[in-house]
Structure 1
Amino acid sequence: MPDGGSPVPLPAGVVLRLLRADDGPALAAAYTRDRARLEPWEPTRPENFFTADGQADAVRTTLREHDAGRCAPFVLEHAGRVVGRVTLSDVVGGAFCNAHLGYWLAGSVTGRGVMTAAVEATLEHARDALGLHRVQAATLAHNAPSQAVLVRTGFERIGFAPRYLRIAGRWQDHVLFQRILHDG
């Protein structure tokens, strides 16, 4: 499991591992490398987001959320470089036992089954380590590659949300998905 300290090997020589406190500079470099490719799919980011200091701040915040049990943040790494992220956020226990799944992957490693394998490993962690019953995800309505990853990993479409999130500077429609991790 990624949270147990051992990286999980994925296709194409990529590994999935827990976010570390020293990942700020590597994340800044990754976001900068793929900035133009990611911009249509993400919220508008301030310039500081793309700096080592900005990412170091974000990592500290995320790791506090992880320590509090509210998220499970993972990094995808290839040849010592960060090439993506997978995060379970808004982790809720109790009667809900749910989290939101978010992810991105560098263009240099897409189309090789990396994200499908990363999502599967993250879902195993959600079920086995976090005891979650359900994981939900939302994609832009026109993001067919992301929707294909969700379908390949057993998610089912559960709805359509008009003007759901402010992405690329405007409120955009999203398709909603869920995966039930175990019955009972």
Structure 2
Amino acid sequence: MAWPVTLHHGPLTLRPLRAGDRAAWTELRSRNGDWLRPWEATMPPGGGARPTSFRSLAHRLTRMARRGQAMPFAIEVDGRFAGQVTVNNIVRGSANFASIGYWIGQEHAGRGLIPLAVALAIDHCFRVEGLHRIEVAIRPENTNSLRVVEKLGLERCGYAPRYLHINGAWRDHVLFGITAEECPGGLVARLEASKTQSSQE
């Protein structure tokens, strides 16, 4: 896998999450606790221990990246830490599949940054990593995240009851997916074409 890798588009940069992001990551998440908590993954009883510090989280994600199991990207906007996009559950072989999760600070929301970040990551997965399919799982109540996949043109492909343990309980999720054949020109290009069309209407 081509890792570490850094991706750029305009003011937005995706680059590997690193231990040195601790202060910025902690400050941003502390300031956005109420904004993020309803959508945060939690560990169910008996599910094992979560990393107890940002440093242990960063080290675990880095190990997974080195094994080709994940791509943990930090989102930077104009050089400032703004959130994360993580390509995880990478499966090779006949599936050639991965899933994507993301979060961003509330002060950066509504500016089209997360759709662009997800588009950059998916384009990299398809064009460089040779993956075939990407999925995104979203709680039905998460209207902000649903708008992200709508802007990107990802199709709903399923409904998963009690799919992930989120904010202390098992939560239903809607599944969205896209394959490499569905976006031969890339998702960033699709997103920009959609913006241009909207501005002309």
TM-score (norm 1): 0.86
- Structure 2, unmatched stretches of 5+, are 44-49, 183-201
* Pair 1:42-2:44 in alignment: no
Cα contact 2:19–2:54 (8 A) shared by 1: no
Query: What amino acid does structure 1 have at the position aligned with 2:25?
Result: L
Q: Which residue of 2 is the match for residue 117 of structure 1?
A: 116
Q: Which residue of 2 is the match for residue 180 of structure 1?
A: 179
Cα contact 1:155–1:177 (8 A) shared by 2: yes
Cα pair distance change 1:42/1:66, threshold 3 Å: same
CA distance in 2, matches of 1:166, 1:30: 23
Cα pair distance change 1:97/1:5, threshold 3 Å: closer
Deviation at 1:5, TM superposition (A): 4.6
Q: Which residue of 1 is the match for residue 189 of structure 2?
A: none
Cα pair distance change 1:157/1:5, threshold 3 Å: closer
Query: What amino acid does structure 2 have at the position aligned with 1:93?
Result: R
Q: Which residue of 1 is the match for residue 135 of structure 2?
A: 136
Cα contact 2:72–2:87 (8 A) shared by 1: yes
Query: What amino acid does structure 2 have at the position aligned with 1:9?
Result: H
Deviation at 1:60, TM superposition (A): 0.5
Q: Which residue of 1 is the match for residue 57 of structure 2?
A: 58
Q: Which residue of 2 is the match for residue 169 of structure 1?
A: 168
Cα pair distance change 1:6/1:164, threshold 3 Å: closer
Q: Which residue of 1 is the match for residue 23 of structure 2?
A: 25
| Bigger Rg, which one | 2
- Structure 1, unmatched stretches of 5+, are none
CA distance in 2, matches of 1:135, 1:37: 26
TM-score (norm 2): 0.79
